[in-house]
Amino acid sequence: MPQIKKSHLLRVPTQPNCPARIFQRDDGLTVVYQQVSTSPVVVTDVWVRAGAASEPDEWSGMAHFLEHMVFKGTARLAPGSFDRAIESCGGVTNAATSHDYAHFFITTAATHFHETLPHLAELLLRAAIPEEEFGREREVVLEEILQSYDNPDDLLFEATMEELYRSHPYRRPVLGTEESLMARSPEEMRNFHSFHYQPDKMTVVVVGGVSEAEALDRVDECFQNFPTPTNCPNARIEAEPPLLNVRRRELRLPRLEMARLNLAWVGPGIDRLSDAYGLDLLSVVLAAGRASRLVRELRERRQWVQGITSYFSLQRDSSLFTISAWLDPAYLEVVERTIVDRLHQLHVELVPEAELDRAKRQLRNDYAFSTETPAQLAGLYGYYQTLTQAEIAVKYPDCIQVFDAETLRQLARQYLTIDRYVATVAIGDEW
């Protein structure tokens, strides 16, 4: 058993019903810890507030590219040695980047926590970004971009974001573009890394079968000697002006047999979290499951669509509400008119109690199913701590339960406007 030392992390008061414990160091590093004594594994998930929205326009794609380059080693770890070290313990590792964050995680047997965490900290704090690997890995990222061009749903999503966000960095693809990536240098990436991968922008989440004392001691010991920040251009984040009408864009794509229709609205940011939860409920009422309104009418009864879904995505500055349909092009206009009409119905009529209860039950069940494993819990805590506060994550089921029909009607009127939205269509080039 490793020797336990006194940690420099101080406990942050949390809500009584929060099973996780939150700690912070004087330099701003935050640690979220929850013991799962019945679990033989431990998940360490490190979140950094350095997603695509942190990039200046000319550096588009830098955050995601850096995610790749972090694994290319340090002065002490050769490329590939990190993966070998984790895999030799039977562990797994991965990473992801969004507009609001990047995160890196490892899952290992709890007995290997002490020996594997230093490798992850070494990569994140001291990424070398070697020039010989930079060019090779850039080709990998460029291939990802080219593959996204072959996916009509990816193309439609990016077109939607460009129309919905004309000022905010959310308009830019997380992957960047071929032009922006080819213009970047290893030195610029090192500047981006040293500027953003700092303790006050980082949260380390540890969940699983490891004691609190061991977790805090090892995190405190490993996450020291952060890089000295260097100059880095700041992202230009402007307030997104409100939509004043319906914005439309049509994509003509080869070999597309089924058309796509995407309707999108700007939702609240993290500062209006209660409104966001209400829109989550409205997305379920509209098109989540066979019992939802649009699925029942447009797919089951009228058979105008092959499939239809509604999705609410919470983002830090402003969120995204979408209704997406796969359909024969002949039904595009009537399906859009019907969706808009059903939104207007939400503006004037109250959602019946039984329907509202079904939506609440579905979201509470989804939440329960998504918090069963250490990896799921670590992801949930890291996501919320990066956007706001980790302890808020456990309040979700109770917050959903208190909504009434009148509040939902007011939210529908405020956010799901019937004359101000973005409509993007993908259609085969033979039509």
**Amino acid 32: pLDDT:** 98
Host H or E run for residue 307: strand 305-313
How many whole angstroms separate alpha carbon 260 and alpha carbon 251?
10
Question: Which conformational region is residue 314 in: left (phi greater than 0), alpha (psi within -120 to 50 degrees), or beta?
Answer: beta
Which residues, 6+ apart, have CB-to-CB distance to 224 below 8 Å?
Answer: none
Tell me: do 320 and 213 sit in the same domain. no
Co-location of 349 and 312 in the same domain: yes
What integer is the mean pLDDT of 212-232? 95
| pLDDT at 89 > cutoff 60 | yes
Which pLDDT score is estimated for 6?
Answer: 60
Instruction: Look at residue 2 and give its three-state secondary structure.
Output: coil
- pLDDT for 344 equals 98
Q: Is residue 239 part of a domain?
A: no
pLDDT higher than 70, residue 43: yes
Range of the domain at 203: 10-222
How far apart, in whole angstroms, are the C-alpha atoms of residue 242 and residue 247? 12
For residue 157, being part of any structural domain is answered with: yes
Predicted confidence (pLDDT) at residue 3 exceeds the cutoff of 70: no
Give pLDDT, residue 247: 97
Q: Compute the distance between CA of residue 198 and CA of residue 30 in angstroms, rounded to an integer.
A: 11
Average pLDDT of the chain?
Answer: 95
Residue 107 has a CB neighbour count (10 Å cut-off) of 22
Cross-strand partners of 426: 251, 260
Please tell me the predicted confidence (pLDDT) of residue 291.
92
| pLDDT tens track for 66-81 | 999 999 999 999 998 9
- Closest residue by Cα to residue 251 from 352, 354, 160: 160
Contact of 113 with 218, CB cutoff 8 Å: yes
Confidence grade of residue 431 (pLDDT, cut at 50, 70, 90): low
Q: What is the pLDDT of residue 224?
A: 96
Task: Fill in the DSSP letter of residue 13.
Answer: P
Q: Do residues 2 and 112 touch, judged by C-beta distance below 8 A?
A: no
**pLDDT attached to residue 10:** 87
DSSP-based three-state secondary structure for 177: coil
Give the mean model confidence (pLDDT) for residues 148-168.
94
Specify the CATH number for the domain of residue 140. 3.30.830.10
Has residue 237 been placed in a domain?
no
Q: What local confidence, expressed as pLDDT, does residue 240 receive?
A: 77
3-state secondary structure (DSSP) of residue 31: strand
Please tell me what DSSP assigns to residue 52: G
242-254 pLDDT, tens digit each? 889 999 999 999 9
Q: How many domains does the chain have?
A: 2
C-alpha to C-alpha distance for 165 and 180, rounded to whole angstroms: 19
Confidence grade of residue 384 (pLDDT, cut at 50, 70, 90): very high
Assigned domain for 228 exists? no
- For the chain, the distance separating the N- and C-terminal CA atoms, rounded to the nearest angstrom, is 68
Residues 178 and 253 reside in one and the same domain: no
Q: Would 238 be classed as within a structural domain?
A: no
The rounded distance, in Å, linking the Cα atoms of 379 and 58 is 30
Cα 122 to Cα 82: distance, rounded to the nearest angstrom: 9
Helix axes 353-369, 273-287, angle to 10 degrees: 110
DSSP single-letter state for residue 198: S
Q: Are 184 and 65 a contacting pair, CB within 8 Å?
A: yes
| Residue 115 banded pLDDT, cuts 50, 70, 90 | very high
**Angle value at C-alpha 56, between 54 and 62, nearest 5 degrees:** 70
Q: Where are the alpha helices (DSSP H) in 272-331?
A: 273-287, 293-294
Q: Is 89 exposed, middle or buried (0-12, 13-18, 19+ CB in 10 A)?
A: middle
Note whether residue 148 is domain-resident.
yes
Same domain, 254 and 187: no
What mean pLDDT do residues 108-119 have? 96
